[in-house]
Amino acid sequence: MDGTPSLTGAGEAIIAALRARRRVSQKVMIVAAHPDDETIGIGAQLCRLEDALLVHLTDGAPRDGEDMARFGFENPQDYAAARRAELVNALEAGGASAVQTLSFDIPDKEACRNMAGLARRLAQLLSSEKPAAIFTHSYEGGHPDHDAAVFAVHAACHMIPAETAPAVIEMPLYHRRGGTVVRGEFVDAHTGIVVMPLESEDACRKQRMIDCFATQRWLLTDFPLDCERLRIASAYDFRKPPHRGVLHYETFGWDITGAQWRQQAAAALVELGLDDLPCL
């Protein structure tokens, strides 16, 4: 043994540092579907990341026009610009203005349309950035873009040399359980879950960040501020649903069902040559 920590060990060390409210000097990436997902998941921790790149897959603006009309925007571009400005303000409010940002600018609700291409883009980014760890969503069926982010991260990590692959740390956002929405908890009771209680200072800082997302206030008010949860990522078979029953996004009448999402994931695995793996 050469003393180099395992990927799991590197991820656990970063989680332990955050739980102890210490700063993290290792280079990390955060891959989130929409501006505000990072704040919901690890908003209280962002100020402790000294070398972080925050990557958003979408611009947060659906092209169906429903959201932009609700908030008085004339076109998706203006709505996307507003969401970008909210993110900048939130990072500043959270003491995380040093976090670098990058957006793939995919329309909201469309990240799953080309998951193979998404995985390739992330693999290229991982190869150039070489982060020690990458934070992303868990596979939970809350939003098709969230699940596309999980897929792309896991697939990308299998597309680069194993010795350069980062530890994958996942955060829960929301999912459906027994007909109700569960926020801030993982779908399963994995023993590797690390609960990070938020002290008053942390909770107040996270609330200031949430307050910056004026267009999303209706969505963010019900998320807990008492703790954040992380764990080393589970391995998933994306050809199977994340849990039994109706997925949360299937209740909205969007033009994507869980079955359709899984068909696209399966096709992407074939395209990427990863379909022989039982899980990623």
Give which of 237, 229, 231 is closest to 151, Cα–Cα.
237
CA–CA gap between residue 280 and residue 127 (Å, rounded): 18
pLDDT at 3 over 60: no
Residue 232: what are its φ and ψ, rounded to 5°? -65, 135
| Mean pLDDT value across residues 72-79 | 93
Which one-letter DSSP state was computed for residue 197? E
* Four-point Cα dihedral 79, 83, 88, 90, nearest 10: 140
3-state secondary structure of 226: coil
Give which of 52, 25, 53, 24 is closest to 196, Cα–Cα.
24
CB atoms within 10 A of CB 175: 23
Residue 162's pLDDT is what? 94
Placement of tokens 């610009």 in the chain: 81
| Mean pLDDT value across residues 23-33 | 97
> Per-residue confidence at 70, pLDDT binned at 50, 70, 90?
confident
> What are the residue ranges spanned by the domains of the chain?
7-270
> Per-residue confidence at 7, pLDDT binned at 50, 70, 90?
low
Q: What class is the 7-270 domain?
A: alpha beta
pLDDT in tens, 215-249: 999 889 999 999 999 999 989 999 999 999 999 99
CB atoms within 10 A of CB 120: 18
DSSP H or E segment with residue 68: helix 66-70
Counting DSSP H helices and E strands in the chain, the numbers are: 9, 9
3-state secondary structure of 104: strand
pLDDT in tens, 163-180: 999 999 999 999 999 999
pLDDT at 1 over 50: no
